[in-house]
Amino acid sequence: MTSMTISEKILAKHADQPSVQPDDLVEVRIDFALGNDITAPLAIDAFRRSGAKHVFDPERIALIPDHFAPNKDIASATQIKALREFAREQQLPHFYEVGRMGIEHALLPELGLVLPGDVVIGADSHTCTYGALGAFATGVGSTDLAAAMITGKIWFKVPPSIKFVFYGKRRPWFGGKDLILYAIGQIGVDGAHYAAMEFTGQVIDSLPMADRFTISNMAIEAGAKAGIIAPDEITAEYVKDRAKRPYEFYQSDRDAAYSSIYEWDVSNLEPMVALPHSPENVRPVTELPEIPIDQVVVGSCTNGRLEDLRQAAAVLKGKKVAPHVRCIIIPATQRIYRQAMREGLFEIFLEAEAAVSTPTCGPCLGGHMGILAAGERAVATTNRNFIGRMGHVESEVYLSNPAVAAASAILGRIAHPDEVR
């Protein structure tokens, strides 16, 4: 038997081949496909122009208006209406709107719609998030989504795999976000160009699913095709009550081939911040000069999960957001929203004078709900800090974990959570 990585095994299985190797061109069956209010309108347009009448399987497609939802303007409302009409016409059960929705990459795992061993494609670059479940998941364009909605298949070039081994003992406040920012800082925004990043080691083994989702989510920020974590007991515990169809756990063979292997001891690492205007521009928060800020955003498909909100709340408890700072907290799904409310997190946020929003991607991509003016600076738990990403081209975004974002909101400058007393 040929030795394979977890990514190669999943692709081989879905291509009905005994094995695959990097650079092979394969056509694979997909288990699930998704689109959002920005990308699905183009896919629906291509679907209609193709002459196709039906999607391959209505149960395996999700349409989720989350980027400019709740409808930010008339044009956005029109796009979302197109999704709604297509979902109704094709009788798609997985169409989730305001009141039922969530940010796609938080919602689909939460609902058990994407599962270990799956091949998932999404017309959204952060589709790689589901790699945390041990799935091969990757972002594609709208036309690829249209073709997959019709045929249930997609062609891939099998990517080489790069292995990342994290070992040592994490310091307080150092989590999944810091691990992935550190990795991107080390290898650069094209350091994993076209490759599958595979995250392993004792540090990964001990991380809860929330942190694993954050890590896989940002694989695209290193140019990767996928960011995968082999499933274990923690994965099993997460999926067992959510899955409504069979799933499979794959592991890389011991002697599987990697194009490169990185091994990092995290024991002495501090929480990380990515400075403007690139996710590779990473520094430990402790090494930054005084950087005053205007806004903090805690949320997004990267860090809008319950565990992230708990971290922010732990820092914000009994404190006030600095007078000149806006702090916006966005639970990623309705379920997270309700649970945060039940746990009393909203009381902490509101007491701290932070604003709590309904789920949306909103400010992460400069859509709505927290746009920056020229010269303004934000700390955000999101995934990109490109020029103009959150608003004006002369605004700045600093990426961090939720605890650093909360500490920064309180002190009005980028701060380590330990600085909050």
What residues make contact with another protein under the rule CB under 8 A?
Answer: 25, 38-39, 41-42, 45-46, 49-52, 67-68, 72-73, 75-76, 79, 122-125, 127, 139-144, 146-147, 150-151, 155, 189-190, 193-194, 220, 223, 225, 278, 365-367, 384, 386-389, 393
What minimum distance in Å lies between the beta carbon of 270 and another protein? 26
Residue number with CB closer to another protein (152 or 168) = 152
Helix residue ranges, H only, 290-416:
300-303, 306-316, 334-342, 345-351, 402-411
Q: Which amino acid is at 340?
A: A
Cis amide leading into 70 (omega within 30)? yes
CB of 217 to another protein, least distance (A): 13
- Minimal distance, residue 102 CB to another protein, in Å: 19
User: How far is residue 31's CA from residue 28's CA, in Å, rounded to a whole number?
Assistant: 10
Cβ-based neighbours of 237, under 8 Å, separated by 6 or more? none
* Residue 65, token pair as written in the block: 């208006």
Q: What span, in angstroms and rounded, lies between the C-alpha atoms of 341 and 369? A: 20
State the minimum distance, in angstroms, from the CB of residue 388 to another protein.
Answer: 4
Closer of 195 and 356 to another protein (Cβ): 195
Distance of CA 203 to the CA centre of its chain: 19
Torsion of CA 75, 78, 84, 87, to 10 degrees: -90
Instruction: Tell me whether residue 5 or residue 39 sits nearer to another protein (CB atom).
Output: 39
124 vs 294, beta carbon nearer another protein: 124
The widest CA-to-CA distance across the chain, in whole angstroms, is: 64
Nearer to another protein, 26 or 257 (CB): 26
Minimum distance from residue 328 beta carbon to another protein (Å): 17
Question: Considering the complex, what minimum distance in angstroms separates the CB of residue 52 from another protein?
Answer: 6
Q: Which is nearer to another protein, 260 or 267 (CB)?
A: 260
The nearest distance, CB 47 to another protein, in angstroms, is 9
Compute the least distance from the CB of residue 395 to another protein, in Å: 11
Task: Pick the closest to residue 132 from 156, 113, 155, 114 (CA basis).
Answer: 114
**Phi, psi of 410, rounded to the nearest 5 degrees:** -70, -45
Shortest Cβ distance from residue 146 to another protein (Å)?
A: 7
Tell whether the torsion through CA atoms of 182, 199, 35 and 101 is positive or negative. Answer: negative
107 or 219: CB nearest another protein: 219
Of 103 and 410, which has the nearer Cβ to another protein?
Answer: 103
Q: How far is the CB of 39 from another protein (least distance, A)?
A: 7
Nearer of residues 106 and 403 to another protein, judged by Cβ? 106
DSSP β-bridge partners for residue 355: 328
Burial code of 228-261, b = ≥16 C-beta within 10 A, e = fewer? bbbbeeebeebbeeeeeeebeebebeeebbbeee
Helices (H), ranges, 129-264: 142-151, 176-187, 202-205, 209-217, 233-239
* 149 vs 315 by CB, closer to another protein: 149
Both tokens of 405, joined, read: 């974002």
Closest to 312 (Cα-Cα) out of 196, 177, 209: 177
